[in-house]
Amino acid sequence: MVLLLQAVVTTVSLLWSVRVTDAMPDPVQRELLMRQETSRQTGGRVTLTPAEQKLDAHLHRLKEQEMSAAQFLPAIHFFKAKPLIEKSSIFKLLQEMPKGAALHIHSSTLVNVEWLVKNITYRPNCYICFTWDNSVRFFFSDRQPFPRWDCFYWQLLQTLRAKIRDPTLFDNSLMQHLTLFTEDPEGAYPNQDVVWQKFEKAFIATAGLITHAPVLREYFYKGLGELLHDNIMYLELRSGLSRTYELDGTIHDKVWTVKMFQEVTKKFTEDHPDFLGARIIISVHRALGVSDVKAAVKEAIQLQKDFPDVVAGFDMVGREDSGRTLWFFREALSLPAELGVTLPYFFHAGETDDEGTAVDQNILDALLFNTTRIGHGYALAHHPLAKELSRKRNVAVELCPISNQVLKLVSDLRNHPAAVLMSEGHPMVISSDDPSMFGTTGLVYDFYQAFVGIGGLKANLGTLKELAANSIRFSSLPAHLKETGLAMWQKKWDAFIVDHS
Ligand SMILES: [Zn+2]
């Protein structure tokens, strides 16, 4: 507190004493102002150890090289930049860096699509159907599935594959249905509407595979493995808790899914003691009506009460620009307060560039509904009051740079509004939103974009350290587990520094 007070006093007095003159500015004062400004950025007050300073100097040199290269990778569409990013020395360092927690990932996009196609669709009893709108559906069944409105003709994949001449080509075409990834993103996705249409289609296509109960269990274990491989130790997963099905048609309810999630997490942490755990943020689509959302809020309250270690809270998902606003659902969202219970909110808000619209107000409403974090907050920089409020209440923004670029809010990541937030040290964490849709895994690609593209040359090792530690600090974990998590992370961080300095 004393230090903070000193800093404020120094800054104020420094600004008071700035002389605007036609003469040569005072170099000492100039230097002081520059240092003051840097100290405000994310990680600007982190004191680096001598070993960290050494690594920081190395990173700085690497970044200078990347920034002066012919192509600046964060300025290029990620789908084209990806193979080049993978060759970057900064990227390789970030791969090994302990990143803490992934706080914004959706359950349907947790695991890479190659695994789904090359592994899951090769299992017995997997049926496929090609829909009229050029998509696919999958279904596991021990008998020929009945025709549905969207799927008239189901074929057993095993039989179909036996007739196909080029299985690799066929598998690649299946993968194309499950991801946005393409070699020609500009041609395939000329605007936000087109990319969102494909995005939503891919979600529906994936559903039949991962709502098969035995697959979901393995899928989730595999997802945790991918995160651990990227040096991540904890996950908060947004999930609609879709009903799952067995081969014989038995349907499981949401409680089954929560219990399964709990069991798999327990098994995974037993197998990998350096992984802290995982929790769920129950997510409901914003296309629903008020009464359905009311029912979902009530259900979430009950599930959180019954499974407090698993259920972290509640969110609304789906495209904000074409969906209903948080204000539209105000009656449903104020239910917990009316009932005298708490249900933490983790709202997606401000994932829009439609300034001044009703959707744009989601950012303020999320804060008025006492959200714990803000998903994306792309619009936050344009809302000075909301920004002040989130800073004052320590509500972190979950920054997902690649998602924002692929879904066409920004093309050159140097222009991402989070650059302003980072320069001011706004509470922030980095996440990946929908890794399988964007062809990423873990958080490393998003860390690269935030560190090199959004943060620019001034983002340093202190920035990375603060962003990683933030992910534990701003998680929904209870205080004692945050402490455990931070201690675990610090140990990994120290080892990382020793290895690279
Ligand atoms: Zn999201």
217 and 430 in contact (C-beta within 8 Å)? no
**95 falls within a domain:** yes
Q: How far is the CA of 270 from the centre of ligand 1 (A)?
A: 29
Say which residue, 490 or 322, is predicted with more confidence: 490
Q: Are residues 296 and 396 in the same domain?
A: yes
Half-sphere exposure of 216 (CA within 13 A, CB side): 26
Cβ neighbors of 446 (< 8 A, separation 6 or more) are 399, 400, 401, 402, 430, 431, 432, 440
pLDDT at 20: 72
Q: How far apart are CA 262 and CA 311, in angstroms?
A: 10
What 250-256 contacts at long range (C-beta under 8 Å, 24+ apart), as own/partner pairs, is 252/213, 254/299, 254/303, 255/303, 255/306, 256/213
Q: How far is the CA of 39 from the centre of ligand 1 (A)?
A: 31
pLDDT at 2: 46
Span 86-111, mean pLDDT? 98
Indicate the range of 4-8, 260-264, 290-294, 376-380 predicted with least confidence: 4-8
Q: How far apart are CA 453 and CA 102, in angstroms?
A: 20
Q: Are residues 413 and 455 in the same domain?
A: yes
**Does 1 have pLDDT greater than 50?**
no
CATH number of the CATH domain containing 294:
3.20.20.140
**316 falls within a domain:** yes
Q: How far is the CA of 81 from the centre of ligand 1 (A)?
A: 22
Average pLDDT, the chain: 95
Q: Are residues 124 and 103 in the same domain?
A: no
Q: Are residues 346 and 425 in the same domain?
A: yes
pLDDT at 321: 87
Q: Are residues 445 and 353 in the same domain?
A: yes
Give residue 239's domain range.
Answer: 81-112+231-500
What is the tens place of the pLDDT at every residue in 171-227?
A: 999 999 999 999 999 999 999 999 999 999 999 999 999 999 999 999 999 999 999
With bands split at pLDDT 50, 70 and 90, how would you rate the model's confidence at 10?
A: low
Q: Are residues 363 and 421 in the same domain?
A: yes
176: left (phi > 0), else alpha (psi -120 to 50), else beta? alpha
pLDDT at 6: 53
**391 falls within a domain:** yes
Q: Are residues 156 and 288 in the same domain?
A: no
**Does 4 have pLDDT greater than 60?**
no
Q: Are residues 120 and 90 in the same domain?
A: no
Tokens of 306: 């019954």
Q: How far is the CA of 249 from the centre of ligand 1 (A)?
A: 31
Q: How far is the CA of 317 from the centre of ligand 1 (A)?
A: 7
Indicate the range of 4-18, 193-207, 228-242 predicted with least confidence: 4-18
pLDDT at 15: 72
What is the tens place of the pLDDT at every residue in 470-491?
A: 999 999 999 999 999 999 999 9
Domain boundary among 198, 217, 250: 198
What's at 452, amino acid-wise?
A: V
**297 falls within a domain:** yes
What is the tens place of the pLDDT at every residue in 386-427?
A: 999 999 999 999 999 999 999 999 999 999 999 999 999 999
What is the tens place of the pLDDT at every residue in 431-469?
A: 999 999 999 999 999 999 999 999 999 999 999 999 999
With the C-alpha atoms ordered 287, 288, 289, 290, is the resulting torsion angle positive or negative? negative
Active site residues: 351, 376
pLDDT at 18: 76
**45 falls within a domain:** no
**104 falls within a domain:** yes
348 and 371 in contact (C-beta within 8 Å)? no
**208 falls within a domain:** no
Q: How far is the CA of 494 from the centre of ligand 1 (A)?
A: 31
Q: Are residues 387 and 346 in the same domain?
A: yes
Tokens of 325: 């606003």
Q: Are residues 333 and 482 in the same domain?
A: yes
**8 falls within a domain:** no
Q: Are residues 120 and 85 in the same domain?
A: no
Q: Are residues 414 and 396 in the same domain?
A: yes
Q: How far is the CA of 315 from the centre of ligand 1 (A)?
A: 10
459-486 in b/e form (b: 16+ CB < 10 A) is bbbbbbbbbbbbbbbbbbbeeebbeebb
